[in-house]
């Protein structure tokens, strides 16, 4: 018997990708997709890639009982929603915003930080999940093995993301004439994902007293994140490669590549690919993801699989469009 899923905030990018994945998940029936702005219209009105895949109509409300509820809302909206509406205690909630990543609760609902490569066993026991941010996911996956081994000192990180990372609403820095042939830095050293990154790293490496110095860039493409983190390390490249491969050996979506990596390998997949380079005592860790999948909706489905006892890769066997 299939579980029932609902989506609140289904008209945006993460709502659309969550819907796309759930429609193709063999264990799931989508009970409703809610959108205040698009209520009464077909879901394909905003998600043209789903023409022929679904006849679902956006609903204005979300009163149907479901087993799992995905909140694909703007930051701050999930906390507001859960303060104004109650859901059955046995309904699992996965929030794709940043409202609960730092341990905040919604009434009696406690949220577990949903980075499987960090705490898969806790996710399996969780009732509510705070899905990590896209940059936070990509940066952390590049640093977790070092933190667990107690090898992190100060980190210098640069990451570039596609325009979908800014959401579907048109902004000055997302329309074509601004993005085309253009790159810019933003939120230098102040990005909102730094809090959750530091929280995780300090939990793994209690003595981590360094900083993650993060400079994010806007890129001239739609999907994907490419991050490079530079740290100091006395270990050889062979020793570091073994450390990383051992850490991720049991994780189906994160892989250490001996060859240089590029975004096309991960776009439209739930993968994170990592490549290491060592020059002198400096280690450069390159990590890449699709910001809408492993950085958002794909990871949300991965968390759902773990919570409900499904195969972790169920519904996520996706191929990158490398050509």
* Catalytic residue annotation: 134
| 276, burial (CB in 10 Å: exposed 0-12, middle 13-18, buried 19+) | buried
Q: For residues 10 and 168, give the distance between their C-alpha atoms in angstroms, rounded to a whole number.
A: 12
Cβ neighbors of 257 (< 8 A, separation 6 or more) are 273, 274, 275
- Residues β-bridged to residue 130: 95, 113
Largest pairwise CA distance in the chain? 61
């Amino acid at each position: 018997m299939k579980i029932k899923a609902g989506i609140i905030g289904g008209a945006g990018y993460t709502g659309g990708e969550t819907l796309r994945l759930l429609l193709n998940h063999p264990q799931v029936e989508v009970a409703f997709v809610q959108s205040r702005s698009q209520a009464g219209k077909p879901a394909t009105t905003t998600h043209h890639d789903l023409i022929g895949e679904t006849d679902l109509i956006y609903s204005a409300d979300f009163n149907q009982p479901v087993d799992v509820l995905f909140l694909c809302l703007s930051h701050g909206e999930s906390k507001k929603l859960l303060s104004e509406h109650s859901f059955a205690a046995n309904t699992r909630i996965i929030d794709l915003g940043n409202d609960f990543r730092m341990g905040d609760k919604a009434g009696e609902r406690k949220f577990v930080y949903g980075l499987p490569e960090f705490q898969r066993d806790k996710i399996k026991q969780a009732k509510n999940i705070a899905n990590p941010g896209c940059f936070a996911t990509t940066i952390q996956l590049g640093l977790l093995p070092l933190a667990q081994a107690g090898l992190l000192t100060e980190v210098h990180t640069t990451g570039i993301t596609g325009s979908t990372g800014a959401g579907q609403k048109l902004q000055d820095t997302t329309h074509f004439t601004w993005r085309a042939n253009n790159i810019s830095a933003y939120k230098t050293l102040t990005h909102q994902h730094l809090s959750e990154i530091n929280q995780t790293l300090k939990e793994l490496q209690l003595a981590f007293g360094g900083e993650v110095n993060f400079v994010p860039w806007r890129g001239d493409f739609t999907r994907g994140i490419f991050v490079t983190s530079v740290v100091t390390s006395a270990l050889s490249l062979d020793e570091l490669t073994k450390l990383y491969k051992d850490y991720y050996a049991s994780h189906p979506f994160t892989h250490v590549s001996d060859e240089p990596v590029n975004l096309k390998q991960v776009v439209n997949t739930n993968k994170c690919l990592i490549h290491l380079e060592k020059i002198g005592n400096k280690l450069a860790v390159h990590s890449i993801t699709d910001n809408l999948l492993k950085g958002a909706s794909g990871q949300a489905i991965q968390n759902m699989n773990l919570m409900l006892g499904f195969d972790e890769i169920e519904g996520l066997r996706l191929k990158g469009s490398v050509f």
